[in-house]
Structure 1
Amino acid sequence: MAGRFAPRPARPTLPHQAARAVRGDERPLTREWTPPGPLDLRLVLGPLRRGPADPTFRMAPDGTFWRATRTPEGPGTLRVAGRGDRVGAQAWGPGAEWLLAGLPALLGADDDPDAFTPHHRLLAVARHRRPGLRLLRTGLVMESLIPSILEQKVTTDEAYRAWRLLVRRYGTPAPGPTAALGLHVMPDARTWAMIPSWEWHKAGVDTKRSSTIMRAVRVAPRLEEASTMELPRAAARLELIPGIGPWTSAETLQRSNGAPDAVTVGDYHLPGIVGYALADNRHADDEEMLTLLTPYEGQRHRATRLILLSGRIPERRGPRMTPGNIAAL
């Protein structure tokens, strides 16, 4: 009942919340870039969004995309918008120059869609209908690795909730005019390492996943080096950390490295989707999925993206997985 209890005193400011005030009127750095071919910003940048309320990513009603991230130079906010056959970008914060320098790579300039040759009509049609699909490359490992670890063995809703709660609680407000959007920059490695066990529990993250994140952030600089490695070496570097396997490394390197062959093995749904699309077998396992994707060696991640975009997805025949809630325990 409202007014029944006296209001609690304000909580003291936490160390990560004592950052400098974020000015919304600071002048941004700007850049324009002309992509080498068709570019669909929604398809390219979509993999960065971790749920509709992701505090690090927004698509505004005017069709612009906002991204808050932690660069090697510090926090930064990037705003991207299409301008005819060009792309305009604005950036704020200590990481602004780094973000603008990496804009072409982020939007798929290093990707080569022509390297993909469809061997199934379904994929040929999907590619024809999605000419603006390019594989992004962020050059940042930890920002994709941590949410990928949170997504291990749970429903996407549970993982998105955990990411949202932890970033809002321990991250910092994004630089620039982002107050209305509620954008936050994810915590740095030291802050992740200092999150107490009960806060992980309140966010619904079990000990196995939180411990994996703790191990990863302790060697964050070494893991970030994987962003410049070829796929096999990069995956091997990430998988040295106990708790990080092929599924997590693939989900990370698809985003950080723009790896076109980083196929997600160990996924609950993907083998059945690929099997249904290419062989009418909704019960395919990882082994059959990899066999079906053999003609696309070197481009297997792109092939799975096109399959997902084709709309040929098997109908559900059972109830959705029930989300857990360890926070209530």
Structure 2
Amino acid sequence: MYEDIERCVRAVQSKDARFDGWFFTAVVTTGIYCRPSCPVVPPKVENMRFYGSAAAAQTAGFRACKRCRPDVTPGSPLWNERADVVARAMRLIADGVVDREGVSGLAARLGYSVRQVERQVHAELGAGPLALARAQRAETARLLVETTEMPMGDIAHAAGFSSIRTFNDTVRQVFALTPSELRSRASGAPSSPGALSLRLPFRAPLCPDNLFGHLAATAVPGVEEWRDGAYRRTLRLPHGHGIVSLAPTPDHIACRLGLTDLRDLSAAISRCRRLLDLDADPVAVDAQLSSDPALAPLVAKNPGRRVPRTTDPEEFAVRAVLGQQVSTAAARTHAARLVTAHGTPVDDREGGLGFLFPTPADLVGLDPSSLAMPQSRRRTLLGLVAALAAGDLDLSPGGDWARARAELSALPGFGPWTVETIAMRALGDPDAFVPADLGVKLAAAALDLPTSPSALTRHAAAWQPWRAYAVQYLWATGDHPINYLPA
């Protein structure tokens, strides 16, 4: 996108917010970089420079605009739409892998050498993995400076900086303000340490009905709940655990995070954004799907549907197996029993959450007779748990989608519905498709679309690469709690 100069110029001149996060505009005469929708008077074309990431603009010597705050834009949708190595790297960087494991750890997860990863990422974004991670640390630091009363030294450590001096230098370079000046400019009362109130941006439009309806209707007691107009759940994070509350508003998602270790802030935010599919490009998705006369009225009625995903791919895979050929209520019951028996207890002072969902390692010794389900599904669950615990199946944000599908398909009891459901919601593949799903088949019949899986798949070729979003619009034709925002 940022290499298409003419298109970028038009977006900046029209202050088009749809392109926020797609690219960044730097102005050579002022030394600042902005989001395309920055409200200031657009600079002269000859003074504009375009970059594919905030990190690239910072590396080139530009500082963030204090007015439009380009570091808080939605992320580029490319990283959640694509399956290539750069997209996989970006998803892992957003999850904090470089901060925890270094570039060598990132490369190992991707199966490439450090040099190959650095070269490919830099070629596309104009900045390497270290610069991208540094930009993310700066954003995390700004959030902590502005929303807590933590001492600056504690913030430097929580944001991942090696020293207070590096923290101070980075903040000054990126924001042209000292940390103390950033704090003095912050509006509103700061949160207490470990309890953060944030705004998660998204590209409009966003239809919250199926997104929050699905999460609430399938919520596992003890791990998830709908309370006071918000979806709440526990989070298992790299350095500890957390509890998040997410509530839809017209122009952002209100996010309240309670963390046992503030070093997990950026990972928690990244996982919440993936859960709610907040970096999607709804204009592109809806335009493609509206080209089909059968889907066009559904899109026009409620544009901006997102794909409800997950904060923990391994958790979702287990729950997908528990939900095979049973009702939503039965799947919740199975999962709740598993959580009560094998989950990790946590304290929730604000609601009714009490457990982290068990990890595959927690379930390796599971007694099959304790599962109130058919013998064949017990074998399926135990086979999945064993593969995940042994590291033979990678469902992480940086995993290879094609390989994960093949590995899932090789496990006993995994048919196309389970594999594609996991691809849609755990892997985040925007083109995952479940033509044999009952809700999809009923919707297809009501819309005079083909109902056999093979015929519907042929018809749905025109919906690519957004078939996962088409599924959301098809499901929305049914009268099921997943389609309604809870009262």
Aligned position for 1:267: 437
Corresponding position: 1:58 with 2:225: yes
Paired residues of 2:230 and 2:246 also in contact (CA < 8 A): yes
Paired residues of 1:79 and 1:91 also in contact (CA < 8 A): yes
Measure, in 2, the Cα distance between the counterparts of 1:295 and 1:195.
44
Paired residues of 2:305 and 2:469 also in contact (CA < 8 A): no
Structure 2: gaps (5+ residues): 1-191, 481-487
1:252 alignment partner, SS class: helix
- Normalising by structure 1, we get a TM-score of 0.73
Superposition RMSD in Å: 2.9
1:228 alignment partner, SS class: coil
Aligned position for 2:233: 67
Aligned position for 1:131: 303
1:223 alignment partner, SS class: coil
2:352 pairs with one of 171, 181, 196? 181
Measure, in 2, the Cα distance between the counterparts of 1:312 and 1:303.
17
Amino acid at match of 1:253: A
1:310 alignment partner, SS class: coil
Q: Deviations over 1:205-243 (max 9, x none)?
A: 222222222222223244344532454333223223222
Q: Deviations over 1:78-116 (max 9, x none)?
A: 111235522221223457522123333333233222333
Measure, in 1, the Cα distance between the counterparts of 2:430 and 2:448.
19
2:277 pairs with one of 108, 113, 119? 108
Paired residues of 2:310 and 2:426 also in contact (CA < 8 A): yes
Paired residues of 1:263 and 1:304 also in contact (CA < 8 A): yes
- Normalising by structure 2, we get a TM-score of 0.52
Measure, in 2, the Cα distance between the counterparts of 1:269 and 1:177.
38
Query: Structure 1 residues 67 and 53 mapped into 2: Cα distance closer, same or farther (>3 Å)?
Result: closer
Q: How many residues align?
A: 281
Q: Deviations over 1:132-167 (max 9, x none)?
A: 422244363211111110122334333222112221
Measure, in 2, the Cα distance between the counterparts of 1:46 and 1:84.
16
Aligned position for 1:11: none
Structure 1: gaps (5+ residues): 1-24, 314-329
Paired residues of 2:203 and 2:280 also in contact (CA < 8 A): no
Amino acid at match of 1:235: R
Give 1 or 2 for the bigger CA radius of gyration. Answer: 2
Measure, in 2, the Cα distance between the counterparts of 1:74 and 1:219.
24
Query: Structure 1 residues 56 and 242 mapped into 2: Cα distance closer, same or farther (>3 Å)?
Result: same
Paired residues of 1:275 and 1:288 also in contact (CA < 8 A): no
Paired residues of 1:68 and 1:76 also in contact (CA < 8 A): yes
1:149 pairs with one of 299, 317, 321? 321
1:154 alignment partner, SS class: coil
1:134 alignment partner, SS class: coil
Aligned position for 2:458: 291
**1:40-55 maps to which residues of 2 (within 5 A)?**
40-49=207-216, 51=218, 54-55=221-222
Give 1 or 2: higher helix fraction.
2
Aligned position for 1:76: 242
Amino acid at match of 2:322: L
Query: Structure 1 residues 175 and 289 mapped into 2: Cα distance closer, same or farther (>3 Å)?
Result: farther
Residue 183 (structure 1) shift: 4.4
Aligned position for 1:170: 342
Query: Structure 1 residues 287 and 155 mapped into 2: Cα distance closer, same or farther (>3 Å)?
Result: same
Identity of aligned residues (%): 22
Query: Structure 1 residues 140 and 121 mapped into 2: Cα distance closer, same or farther (>3 Å)?
Result: same
Aligned position for 1:3: none
Measure, in 1, the Cα distance between the counterparts of 2:457 and 2:314.
27
Query: Structure 1 residues 297 and 145 mapped into 2: Cα distance closer, same or farther (>3 Å)?
Result: same
Measure, in 1, the Cα distance between the counterparts of 2:448 and 2:307.
22
Query: Structure 1 residues 230 and 80 mapped into 2: Cα distance closer, same or farther (>3 Å)?
Result: same
Paired residues of 1:141 and 1:253 also in contact (CA < 8 A): no
Amino acid at match of 1:80: L
2:397 alignment partner, SS class: helix
Query: Structure 1 residues 72 and 294 mapped into 2: Cα distance closer, same or farther (>3 Å)?
Result: same
Amino acid at match of 1:148: A
Aligned position for 2:184: none
Measure, in 2, the Cα distance between the counterparts of 1:49 and 1:83.
17
Aligned position for 1:250: 420
Query: Structure 1 residues 71 and 253 mapped into 2: Cα distance closer, same or farther (>3 Å)?
Result: farther
Amino acid at match of 2:434: T
Aligned position for 1:228: 398
Query: Structure 1 residues 153 and 34 mapped into 2: Cα distance closer, same or farther (>3 Å)?
Result: closer
